[in-house]
């Protein structure tokens, strides 16, 4: 399994997941489908399917166009997320195969949208898995927001400085790891009493809702 990341829009990424045995590929959130097709062609890949994490335009906005450019391509999206151009709806636990060795597991991860899907992708036994999370896990702007909640969190400070340097150098700020997210992503830290107290809440669920509301109103 190989993964190519393709910068899109101002601060997004789309991805190509490749089964190396067959050169078949899946596109994740191809908001600028021409870029994805150009990358696929440059690597000699056959684009077979689209994995859409959620319905927002900066992730699903290229689905209709890619269906025109690649007739018959399958477009996967969450069953309750109203994904534009979706041909195959998935629910938590559904699996999709790509080529000979790649398996894609759909995980329902509601928060950013109610029907948000993350895709957990595995290849051969000796290859590291990967998970594509759309807007459920974050980068520069979200680290800036995280600092407003935990200004003394050294890991957030360090990761933000690194991410800003990466962006200035024209380099990617992905991938991340679950360990990093647990240390820096407030949406994955709502079980901590100190964070609950900081946002005036008494439970993880209440804190999650409050942080989501603050993020929606935050303009950075």
What does the pLDDT look like over 42-66, one tens digit per residue? 999 999 999 999 888 888 889 999 9
Helices 140-149 and 204-217: angle between axes, nearest 10 degrees = 120
pLDDT digits (tens, 9 = 90+) for 130-139: 999 876 557 7
Domain-wise residue ranges, the chain: 2-132, 140-217
The count of other CB atoms within 10 Å of the CB of residue 124 is 12
- Dihedral in degrees, nearest 10, Cα atoms 141, 13, 57, 64: 180
Asked if residue 75 lies in contact with residue 88, where contact means CB atoms within 8 angstroms, the answer is yes
Q: Provide the pLDDT for residue 123.
A: 95
- Interval 147-172 mean pLDDT: 90
pLDDT for the residue numbered 176: 83
Please identify which residue in the block is written with the tokens 């997004």.
Answer: 12
How much is the average pLDDT of 184-205? 95
**Contact of 119 with 132, CB cutoff 8 Å:** yes
Per-residue confidence (pLDDT) for residue 88, from 0 to 100: 96
pTM: 0.77
pLDDT tens, 195-212?
A: 999 999 999 999 999 998
For domain 2-132, give the fold: Metallo-beta-lactamase; Chain A (3.60.15)
Block residue for tokens 């957990």: 120
pLDDT at res. 136: 52
In Å, what is the CA distance from 188 to each residue of 124, 146, 183? 29, 11, 8
CA distance 210 to 126: 41
Give me the half-sphere count of Cα atoms (radius 13 Å) on the Cβ side of residue 39: 22
At residue 135, the pLDDT reads 64
């Amino acid at each position: 399994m190989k993964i190519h990341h393709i910068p899109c829009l101002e601060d997004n990424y789309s991805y190509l997941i490749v089964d190396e045995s067959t050169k078949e590929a899946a596109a994740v959130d191809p908001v600028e489908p021409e870029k994805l097709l150009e990358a696929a062609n440059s690597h000699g890949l056959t684009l077979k399917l689209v994995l859409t994490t959620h319905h927002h335009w900066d992730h699903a906005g290229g689905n209709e166009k890619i269906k025109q450019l690649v007739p018959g391509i399958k477009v996967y999206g969450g069953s309750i997320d109203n994904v534009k151009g979706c041909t195959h709806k998935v629910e938590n636990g559904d699996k999709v195969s790509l080529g000979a060795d790649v398996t894609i597991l759909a995980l329902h991860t509601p928060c950013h949208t109610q029907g948000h899907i993350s895709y957990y992708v595995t290849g051969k036994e000796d290859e590291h898995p990967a998970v594509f999370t759309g807007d459920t896990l974050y980068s520069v702007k979200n680290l800036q927001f995280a600092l407003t909640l935990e200004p003394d969190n050294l890991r957030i400070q360090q990761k933000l400085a690194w991410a800003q340097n990466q962006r200035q150098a024209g380099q990617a700020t992905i991938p991340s790891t679950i360990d990093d997210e647990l240390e820096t992503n407030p949406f994955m830290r709502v079980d901590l009493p100190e964070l609950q107290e900081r946002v005036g809440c008494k439970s993880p669920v209440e804190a999650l809702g409050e942080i989501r509301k603050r993020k929606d109103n935050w303009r950075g």
